């Protein structure tokens, strides 16, 4: 099985890097295409095939991933359309806000095995939360694509109706998590730690919180109750954050990105 990644920007590059670190594809079965060759050298050093031709990338691939800016999707699809075989090839679109109906129209109608996919940039480290919306794909094809993204973190099969909500929660969400890390690290400096040490403390604390929830399967509030002593420091801090609108701000931010 061969896969081609068209686009080597932030997301395309992260996806290609994850694939090269993964266990599904041999490096020589991964092709990365980008118009600017300077972005391709590092993937060649990792063993991938590289090209500046989208058509060349699409010709021999079993799976073609379109990972370019939304306004470039139509141009790329029309470029590869003459060599695309819908009976043998699957198409993955990672460009946000480009609907499946539009892609199907650009590619000439029905019969397309399409996957609307939204990972986040931690896919480079095989730690992405990826949403997958199959369009016109068989159950075997869907299983294949899910296996690829499960190898690069965790994936969830959903429908296109929920895709925007999943995108803001999982893809945009990584930026929101990073903003909390920044805020907590800056707070650590204000209360007496050096910046690097403060960040290290916050990162390990968050890693521990995630591990606790994944291991126990409990609701976050149940775990919070375990560490909030009546009249203690933790509940004072939590209440002060809520007075400043912490939960409301997070929810409003998620809804604003829909």
Question: Can you give the pLDDT at residue 96?
Answer: 87
Is pLDDT at 196 greater than 80 in this prediction?
A: yes
The model's pTM is 0.91
Domain with CATH 1.10.3730.10 in the chain: 173-256
Mean pLDDT in residue range 138-161 = 97
Mean pLDDT in residue range 162-178 = 92
Question: Can you give the pLDDT at residue 123?
Answer: 97
Question: What DSSP letter does each residue of the chain carry, written as one string?
Answer: --EEEE--SHHHHHHHHHHHHSSSS-GGGEEEE-SSGGGTHHHHHTT-EEES-HHHHHHT-SEEEE-S-GGGHHHHHHHHGGG--TTT-EEEE--TT--HHHHHHHTTSS---EEEEE--GGGGGT-EEEEEEEES--HHHHHHHHHHHHTTEEEEE--GGGHHHHIIIIITHHHHHHHHHHHHHHHHHHTT--HHHHHHHHHHHHHHHHHHHHHH---HHHHHHHT--TTSHHHHHHHHHHHTTHHHHHHHHHHHT-
For the segment 99-144, what is each residue's pLDDT rounded down to a tens digit?
999 999 999 877 899 999 999 999 999 999 999 999 999 999 999 9
Domain with CATH 3.40.50.720 in the chain: 3-159
For the segment 11-54, what is each residue's pLDDT rounded down to a tens digit?
999 999 999 999 999 999 999 999 999 999 999 999 999 999 99
Q: Which CATH superfamily is domain 3-159 in?
A: NAD(P)-binding Rossmann-like Domain (3.40.50.720)
Q: What is the second-level CATH architecture of the domain 173-256? A: Orthogonal Bundle (1.10)
């Amino acid at each position: 099985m061969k896969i081609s990644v068209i686009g080597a920007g932030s997301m395309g590059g992260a996806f290609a890097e994850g694939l090269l670190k993964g266990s599904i594809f041999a490096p020589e079965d991964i092709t990365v295409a980008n118009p600017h060759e300077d972005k391709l050298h590092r993937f060649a050093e990792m063993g991938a095939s590289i090209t500046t031709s989208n058509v060349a990338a699409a010709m021999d691939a079993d799976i073609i991933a379109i990972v370019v800016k939304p306004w470039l999707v139509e141009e790329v699809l029309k470029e590869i359309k003459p060599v695309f075989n819908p009976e043998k090839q699957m198409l993955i679109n990672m460009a946000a806000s480009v609907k499946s109906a539009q892609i199907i129209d650009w590619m000439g109608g029905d019969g397309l095995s399409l996957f609307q996919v939204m990972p986040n940039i931690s896919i480079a480290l095989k730690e992405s939360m990826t949403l997958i919306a199959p369009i016109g794909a068989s159950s075997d094809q869907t299983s294949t694509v899910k296996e690829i993204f499960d190898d690069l973190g965790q994936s969830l099969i959903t429908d296109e109706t929920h895709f925007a909500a999943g995108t803001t929660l999982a893809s945009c969400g990584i930026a929101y998590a990073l903003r909390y890390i920044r805020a907590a690290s800056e707070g650590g400096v204000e209360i007496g730690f050096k910046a690097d040490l403060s960040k290290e403390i916050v990162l390990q604390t968050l890693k521990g919180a995630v591990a606790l929830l994944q291991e126990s399967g409990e609701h976050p509030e149940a775990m919070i109750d375990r560490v909030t002593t009546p009249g203690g420091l933790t509940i004072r801090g939590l209440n002060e954050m809520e007075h400043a609108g912490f939960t409301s701000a997070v929810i409003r931010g998620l809804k604003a990105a829909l």
